[in-house]
A and B are shown apart, each in its own frame.
Chain A
């Protein structure tokens, strides 16, 4: 009997200690109480670009999970100078870590250095600044993404029997200064070069703004309905329904070929309607979630992450469009 009691006691004690250890290891998350008061600031390229919302939600959840405070700050519109100013103020306010999607790759070098000199580790996501001394980059390989979308376009053109024709092509990007976007263009051009005959008629810059991208697209197609191919380096105009893009819809109906990078529910709807032929998407969720965790673990435990953390690419074409529509939720932001 005594042995039984002892066994029970020891077992209870072990369970208790185990639970105690487990709970002890968990960050105590309560509203207003954070484990070590870490504040991690994310800077997307702009608040007004909905593409970062996946990362935003994921980062919030991860922050809550890790018991850190998340700051998510950016100029509403693309503004390199203001982004740098914000980083300066984050340094002044004494945040514990910074993860930024860089607007101007060279412009941030000095402020990143300043942050690091003040003991604030800096990482990049989505748009990198390789020469800045940042801790790590998390995101897609933008050049490879450009190549993949270029390859996809080649396949589409060949499937339409247009590979011998010279196709007038318009490229829509955010800013020519954005490294990630330029890498996507470079990859695209390298992929299509020699495979199809693309004549790059225009490269439009929408300043990383949804509204401007829509206006530019519609106006361009009004004036240049003869363009054959449009390559969207990012998914800025995809946040609206096709009713808001009548010229684009008409152009697509008349055989215009559009491909783009950024994959989300509204874009998939446009693809489903036939306005877009191929989409490649980034895993923004991982950028937000994993990016935060890697930095927090570095700050807390000194775990040095890999310099480049590649998040995967997602392809959307006519074969999997329906499935993807079920997976991706509507954003309903526009």
Chain B
């Protein structure tokens, strides 16, 4: 279970998060929607431990453990996964080597046996088939020369292989055509179950037609101003953010 209480965070002198309260119970998928600049990406980065963000108040725990005290790699080993809005290119690092290194680093941190190369390839090929990714994507350098859709699929592939307990998807739908969007949504949906929860950050309702959330939260100016069921997303789609933001102000 993810529990965020009164979370405030800044970049430099600029306060972005102004007191976030959010609980995502185990097994649930929550969507966070909001206008540009509301702090959606900042929330995902603070939860995953990206340097450069200062937490000034509040707490964030996952399964009772204090996330904010942990290094990014420790959070990953605990089961927290961030699907990046802009996946990073790693020239000179092969995708297969990257994925296997990450998986085994997590396994090592958890005291689990590591996977050898053939075992890993078997796992990776099976997941790639499900995501309709060509085999040669394993041989290429991480995200180098990938199209926008391929990069996002590569994020979902990483998620499928690393099998996190909590996935944070930061605008994974941006820049995807409808076919890629479906593939990505299927990838997330296939992870759903009692031991998987997700925070799906999105600007548009479109993704939520394919990944149906248990709860929807609206983030504005660094606070959650409204929460509701999946129908809230439809309301936002119909009326835009302006009404809700004005109401909360």
Partners in one complex: no
